[in-house]
């Protein structure tokens, strides 16, 4: 009776209060790091079955370490983190690893407590604990401080995220460790079928803030560049948009044109490969990115990228490998509240410049080919398993 009463009271609390309570309670209960030195094996922990950026981050890390021949194990925390199981689980995941090691937890700071409770005290004991975190604004929210006492060090995918986290790290090392997106050779890109429309691709996860991903800007740039030209096509690929019916209706109305397609689905690796294979250009007018995995994945496949030239992707998206779009800073206002920090600022991309870039790439196949080849070369140099392991060794991690 008392348990049911407590549950009823908890569920009646505002969502924000429940969320803050969860973060604080799990941070208090979670095992503390023992200041262990880095040691093998590396244990990659995260939501390995979830189609999110951090889920992808964990899967890439695991795959790269295996490909490089490192001593590695894995723990799937999808259920512990209460996240959706979108993808099948690698049968090699779930090994119980006790004793020394380096535990790399791919969840953001507020959820470190919940993640470590999922790992368990027995498996966490004696290990060096690393938080692999990503954030998309110049400063992190106050709740991120809860994760600091739970880690020995912090890895981040970009210099932008490092600059946001370093001021709260309390002396802990903050290392930039880019995602190893080139774990496998990229699929060979077939030439365009004669008569096929010039295809612009935009990919985003609606649950990660539509305001941040800015599909409306993508549609506006495409319309400005091409109007209803039947010789071009915009494929706007989303996932989890069905969970936001009002936003879905608004976006569907904007994309209700003969040369635009709105697709909402969660794809496996084969489906993602097929989607990239359809495209001639990737367009992202995001207002902020912690790294820009979709951009990097496109570059790995030799696809020219037109994207906002601000935040995490500024580490790699230069005029040598793509088209950085000019921007201006505006208040970070997010109706979904995920990134609603009006005191901070994020980027508003120049839609006219993006439209001009799209027209230029459509009209100049040689330039498309040059940028695509340069992008693929960059990925094959900087984001391979060998490059990933070399970076870990640079920061003192035995791999």
Please name the helix (run of DSSP H) or strand (run of DSSP E) that holds residue 46, with its range, or none. Answer: strand 42-46
C-alpha distances (whole Å) from 272 to each of 237, 269, 317, 371, 387 are 10, 5, 21, 21, 24
Same fold across 27-180+384-394 and 198-382: yes
Give the C-alpha distances (Å, rounded to integers) separating 292 from 94, 286, 311. Answer: 28, 9, 9
- By the 10 Å C-beta count (0-12 exposed, 13-18 middle, 19+ buried), 256 is classed as exposed
Task: Give the pLDDT score at 195.
Answer: 81
The class that CATH gives domain 27-180+384-394 is: alpha beta
**Domain definitions of the chain by residue range:** 27-180+384-394, 198-382
Check residue 341 and give its pLDDT: 84
Would you list the DSSP string of 178-244? -----SSPPPPPPPPPTTPPEEEEEEEEGGG-HHHH-HHHHHHHHHHHHTT-TTEEEEEEEESGGG-
Q: Note the pLDDT of residue 293.
A: 97
What is the model's pLDDT at position 1?
38
Is the distance from CB of 374 to CB of 364 less than 8 angstroms?
Answer: no
Residues 135 and 161: beta-carbon distance below 8 Å: yes
Superfamily of domain 198-382 in CATH is: Glycogen Phosphorylase B; (3.40.50.2000)
- Confidence (pLDDT) at 94: 61
Per-residue pLDDT of the chain (399 residues; tens, 9 = 90+): 334 434 443 445 455 677 788 889 999 999 999 899 999 999 999 999 998 999 999 999 999 999 999 999 999 999 999 888 778 777 666 666 789 999 999 999 999 999 999 999 999 999 999 999 999 999 999 999 999 999 999 999 999 999 999 999 999 999 999 999 999 888 777 666 778 899 999 999 999 999 999 999 999 999 999 999 999 999 999 999 999 999 999 999 999 999 999 999 999 889 999 999 999 999 999 999 999 999 999 999 999 999 999 999 999 999 999 999 999 999 999 998 888 887 899 999 999 999 999 999 999 999 999 999 999 999 999 999 999 999 999 999 998
* Model pLDDT, residue 15: 57
Q: What is the pLDDT of residue 61?
A: 97
Residues 226 and 215 sit within 8 Å (Cβ to Cβ): no
DSSP structural state of residue 286? -
What pLDDT, on a 0 to 100 scale, did the predictor assign at position 183?
92
Q: Tell me, what's the pLDDT at 10?
A: 41
């Amino acid at each position: 009776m008392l348990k049911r009463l407590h549950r009823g009271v908890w569920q009646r609390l505002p969502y924000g209060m429940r969320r803050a309570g969860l973060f604080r309670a799990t941070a208090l209960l979670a095992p503390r790091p023992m200041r262990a030195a880095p040691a093998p094996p590396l244990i990659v922990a995260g939501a390995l079955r979830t189609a999110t950026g951090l889920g992808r981050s964990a899967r890439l890390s695991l795959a790269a370490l295996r490909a490089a021949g490192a001593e590695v194990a894995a723990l799937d925390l999808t259920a512990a983190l209460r996240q959706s199981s979108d993808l099948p689980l690698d049968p090699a995941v779930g090994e119980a690893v006790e004793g020394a090691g380096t535990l790399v937890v791919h969840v953001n700071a507020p959820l470190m407590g919940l993640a470590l409770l999922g790992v368990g005290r027995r498996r966490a004991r004696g290990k060096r604990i690393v938080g692999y975190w990503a954030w998309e604004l110049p400063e992190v929210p106050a709740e991120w401080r809860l994760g600091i006492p739970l880690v020995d060090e912090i890895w981040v995918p970009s210099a932008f995220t490092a600059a946001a986290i370093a001021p709260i790290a309390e002396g802990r090392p903050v290392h930039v460790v880019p995602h190893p997106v080139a774990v496998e050779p990229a699929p060979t890109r077939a030439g365009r079928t004669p008569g096929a429309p010039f295809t612009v691709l935009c990919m985003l996860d609606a649950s990660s803030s539509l305001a941040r991903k800015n599909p409306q800007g993508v549609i506006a740039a495409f319309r400005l560049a091409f109007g209803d030209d039947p010789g071009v096509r915009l494929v706007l690929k989303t996932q989890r948009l069905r969970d936001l019916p009002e936003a879905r209706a608004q976006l569907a109305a904007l994309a209700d044109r003969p040369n635009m397609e709105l697709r909402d689905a969660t794809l496996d690796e084969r489906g993602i490969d097929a989607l990239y294979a359809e495209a001639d250009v990737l367009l992202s007018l995001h207002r902020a990115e912690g790294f820009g995995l979709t951009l990097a994945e496109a570059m790995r496949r030799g696809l020219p990228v037109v994207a906002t030239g601000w935040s995490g992707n500024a580490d790699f998206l230069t005029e040598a490998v793509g088209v950085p779009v000019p921007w201006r800073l505006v208040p970070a206002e997010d109706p979904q509240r995920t990134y609603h920090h009006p005191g901070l600022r994020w980027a508003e991309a120049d839609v006219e410049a993006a439209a001009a870039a799209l027209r230029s790439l459509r009209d100049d196949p040689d330039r498309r080919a040059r940028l695509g080849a340069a992008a693929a070369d960059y990925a094959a140099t900087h984001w391979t398993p060998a490059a990933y392991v070399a970076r870990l060794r640079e920061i003192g991690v035995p791999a």
